Structure 1
Amino acid sequence: MSEVRQKAQLAGKACSDLSGLTTAQKNEALLAAAKALVENNEAIIAANQEDLDRGRSNGTNESLLDRLALNEQRIHGIAEGLRQIVSLPDPIGELLETFERPNGLHIVKRRVPLGVIGMIYEARPNVTVDAIGLCLKTGNAVVLRGGSAAIASNRKIVEIIHEALDSTSIPRDAVQLIEDSNRSSVDEMLKLNGLLDVVIPRGGSSLIQNVVNNATVPVIETGAGICHTYLDATADAAMATDITLNAKVQRPSVCNSMETMIVHQDFAAAHLSALAQRFSEANVEFRGCEQTRALIDWAKPATDEDYATEYNDYILNVKVVKDLDEALAHIARFSTKHSECIVTEDLYHAERFLQEVDAAAVYHNASTRFTDGFEFGFGAEIGISTQKLHARGPMGLPALTSTKYIIHGNGQIRG
């Protein structure tokens, strides 16, 4: 039997044990895991260093290495995410609806776990902990298949969490890590109908499209992040500078970072040169339209391929437009429906943008970097869904639940 099938079966058997646990028992386990991660941070950092060294020797760029890197501060942040999950209401068992039929049937709709969740993701070891915390709190077992670039980090994290769970009511088999780094292990997970209840991909567009196009197991689609920030004619220049620099430079390797800055021609004439200088000081490469390059002589030409690319790097597309309509048209053409922002003092334009842009998160005068489960108060996130079924946007605890109808009768039969 393959590793994938064996571990999925173990996770499935653990589901029945999870179903009877109280909120207090689940919270106790997550607190134990958080404590263990902090206490063993040196071992995690040492394992992570193996991954970083291998990545550098393989020529991985610094932006992707930043995604992979763990330090004491980041481990404390990951542990804090688990503690925040503990502080959140447990959705399992929540009464969503109750009603009585004319024939006397009493019908109740309650939240229940999804079951066994398969997570397929790239070199983000923080995702390992986020997924474990959210799945266990919602009574789900989880089968993790992270990228090979983070295998040492993930192995150590799961080992530490397994040891922490051994002193709690949650069985260690509820958390499974696939260590086979061959693509065949992903392909097998996608076909595990009856063993996996849902697969959630988290990573670049090629990974997500492979899962969406080839899975027979149901998929919750998370999306690549080609995020735009539109600087309207009335945008406050200081605010626009702060928001766009944060959206691009604070952490360019993540999916909610800005990839294209759209600029109204009046704002561009007055402020783009000074704004570009700030980006240049932050080592950001500009790729722009003809009007952009007329104002910024060091900007490279931007093609449609550039506007359709998620760089996750210090590269920024710039598009100068004549009005809001042109900005909306550009976003509609190139957006991945992740996160979009308008910076403006015109409330009518702001409202039009918020209503007309089709994305999981739309912002007025705030950085797209806030599209994140932790920032939304969800403790952590399993991913950011860009689809429209079941869940959309940062997926916290409720997104990992389904529903069950419970019907009480007193002998009714259907005529």
Structure 2
Amino acid sequence: MSEVIEKSRLAKQASLVVGSLTTEQKNKALLQMADHLIHRQKDIIAANQEDLRRGRENGLSESLLDRLALDEKRIAAMADGLRQVSELTDPVGDQLEQFERPNGLVVKKVRVPIGVIGMIYEARPNVTVDAAGLCLKTGNAVVLRGGSSALHSNSKIVEVLHEALEQTAIPANALQLISDPNRSSVDEMLKLNGLLDVIIPRGGAGLIQNVVNNATVPVIETGAGICHTYIDSEADPEMAVDIAINAKVQRPSVCNSMETLLLHKDYAQQHFPALADRFKAAGVELRGNETARNMVSWINPATEEDWSTEYNDYILAVKIVDSLDEAIDHIQKYGTMHSECIVTNNNQKASSFMQRVDAAAVYHNASTRFTDGFEFGFGAEIGISTQKLHARGPMGLPALTSTKYCIYGSGQIRS
């Protein structure tokens, strides 16, 4: 029996237990997990250092190494995320509807755990903790398959969390990590109907499309983040600079960072050269269309590929546009329905943008970097869904539940 099947079976068995636990039991387990992360942080950091060493040897970019790196501050944030999830309202058991039929049947619709969630993700080891906390809080078991670049970090984190769970009502088998780094382990997970109830991919476009195109298990698609910021002719200049710089520079390696900056020609004529210098000072390479290069001669030419690339790095595509309509058309063509922003003081234009742009999160005068479960008050997130069924946007606790109907009768039979 393969590792994938064996661990998925153990998770399936454990899901029957964790799905019936009380909120108090689950919360106590989350707090125990948080305490263990802090208690064992030196061991986790040591394992992470090995991943970083291997990553440098294998030529990982600085932005990817940043996504991979753990320190005391990041581990503390992971533990705080678990504590915040423990304080959130447990959606399991929520009654969404109740009605009575003419024949006297009382029908109630309630939230229930999904069952066993398969999570396939790449470099960021904090996802291991976020996924474990959210899944267990909602009464689900979880089978994790992280990227090979974070194998030592993820293994140590799961070891620590298992130690914590041994002292709680949640069976440790409810949390499983696939350690096989071969692509075949991912392919096997995609076909585990009957053991996995849903698969959530989280990572680059290649990973996500492989899962979406090849899985027979149902998938909640989290999308690549080709996020745009459109600065309108009626934008506040200082606000526009602050938002654009934050959206790209604050943490370029994550999916909600800006990859393309769209500038109305009137704004660009007055402010683009100074804004370009700000990006240059921050170490950002700019790649612009012909109009942008005519305004700032030192930036590199943008190709068709640049408009559809998620860099996750200090690279930014820039396009000067003639109108709001042109900006929206560009976003609809190249966007991934993740996060889009308009900076303007014209509320009518903002309203048009917010209504017409098809994305999971649409912003007016705020950085796309806020598309995040923690920032939305969810405590953490399992991913950011860019699809339209079941869940969309940052997926917190309710997104990890399904529903069932409970029907109460007094002997009714159907004629």
Do the two structures share a fold, i.e. TM-score over 0.5?
Answer: yes
- Counterpart CA distance in 2 for 1:10 and 1:221 is 25
Deviation by residue 1:322-348 (Cα, 9 ceiling, x = unmatched) = 110110100010000000000000000
Deviation by residue 1:242-270 (Cα, 9 ceiling, x = unmatched) = 11110000100000000000000000000
| Deviation, structure 1 residue 39 | 1.2
| Deviation, structure 1 residue 95 | 0.4
Match of 1:95 in 2: 95
Match of 1:319 in 2: 319
- Counterpart CA distance in 2 for 1:370 and 1:165 is 32
* 1:106 equivalenced with 2:113 (yes/no): no
Counterpart mapping for 1:33-52 below 5 A: 33-52=33-52
For residue 348 of structure 2, give the secondary structure of its aligned residue in structure 1: helix
Q: What letter matches 1:11 in structure 2? A: A
Match of 1:401 in 2: 401
User: Tell me, which stretches of 5 or more residues in structure 2 are unaligned?
Assistant: none
Question: Runs of at least 4 residues of structure 1 off by over 6 A?
Answer: none
Q: What letter matches 1:57 in structure 2? A: E
Match of 2:346 in 1: 346
For residue 83 of structure 1, give the secondary structure of its aligned residue in structure 2: helix
Match of 2:328 in 1: 328
User: Tell me, which stretches of 5 or more residues in structure 1 are unaligned?
Assistant: none
Identity of paired residues, percent? 70
- Counterpart CA distance in 1 for 2:80 and 2:245 is 27
Match of 1:19 in 2: 19
Counterpart mapping for 1:201-220 below 5 A: 201-220=201-220
* 1:75 equivalenced with 2:80 (yes/no): no
For residue 253 of structure 1, give the secondary structure of its aligned residue in structure 2: coil
- Contact 2:12–2:141 (CA under 8 A) maintained in structure 1: yes
- Counterpart CA distance in 1 for 2:188 and 2:323 is 49
Match of 1:166 in 2: 166
- Counterpart CA distance in 1 for 2:50 and 2:281 is 32
| Deviation, structure 1 residue 19 | 2.1
* 1:62 equivalenced with 2:23 (yes/no): no
For residue 388 of structure 2, give the secondary structure of its aligned residue in structure 1: coil
Match of 2:368 in 1: 368
| Deviation, structure 1 residue 412 | 1.3
For residue 260 of structure 1, give the secondary structure of its aligned residue in structure 2: strand
- Counterpart CA distance in 2 for 1:284 and 1:394 is 27
Deviates most, 182-191 or 10-19? 10-19
TM-score normalised per structure 1: 1.00
| Deviation, structure 1 residue 195 | 0.2
- Counterpart CA distance in 2 for 1:217 and 1:382 is 18
- Counterpart CA distance in 1 for 2:291 and 2:171 is 60
Q: What letter matches 2:343 in structure 1? A: V
Q: What letter matches 1:337 in structure 2? A: M
Q: What letter matches 2:352 in structure 1? A: R
Deviation by residue 1:341-378 (Cα, 9 ceiling, x = unmatched) = 00000000000000100000000000000000000000
For residue 222 of structure 1, give the secondary structure of its aligned residue in structure 2: coil
Q: What letter matches 1:13 in structure 2? A: Q
Q: What letter matches 1:64 in structure 2? A: L
Match of 2:142 in 1: 142
* 1:251 equivalenced with 2:258 (yes/no): no
Match of 2:300 in 1: 300
Q: What letter matches 1:130 in structure 2? A: D
Cα RMSD, aligned residues only: 0.5
Match of 1:387 in 2: 387
- Counterpart CA distance in 2 for 1:19 and 1:134 is 13
Match of 2:179 in 1: 179
Match of 2:287 in 1: 287
- Contact 2:251–2:257 (CA under 8 A) maintained in structure 1: yes
- Contact 2:144–2:177 (CA under 8 A) maintained in structure 1: yes
Q: What letter matches 1:155 in structure 2? A: S
| Deviation, structure 1 residue 304 | 1.6
Deviation by residue 1:5-57 (Cα, 9 ceiling, x = unmatched) = 00000000001111221100000000000011011111111000000000000
Match of 2:151 in 1: 151
- Counterpart CA distance in 2 for 1:252 and 1:15 is 37
Q: What letter matches 2:363 in structure 1? A: Y
- Counterpart CA distance in 2 for 1:327 and 1:12 is 48
Match of 1:278 in 2: 278
- Counterpart CA distance in 2 for 1:360 and 1:27 is 30
- Counterpart CA distance in 1 for 2:160 and 2:378 is 24
- Contact 2:373–2:396 (CA under 8 A) maintained in structure 1: yes
- Counterpart CA distance in 2 for 1:331 and 1:303 is 16
TM-score normalised per structure 2: 1.00
- Contact 2:19–2:115 (CA under 8 A) maintained in structure 1: no
- Counterpart CA distance in 1 for 2:48 and 2:19 is 34
Q: What letter matches 1:46 in structure 2? A: A
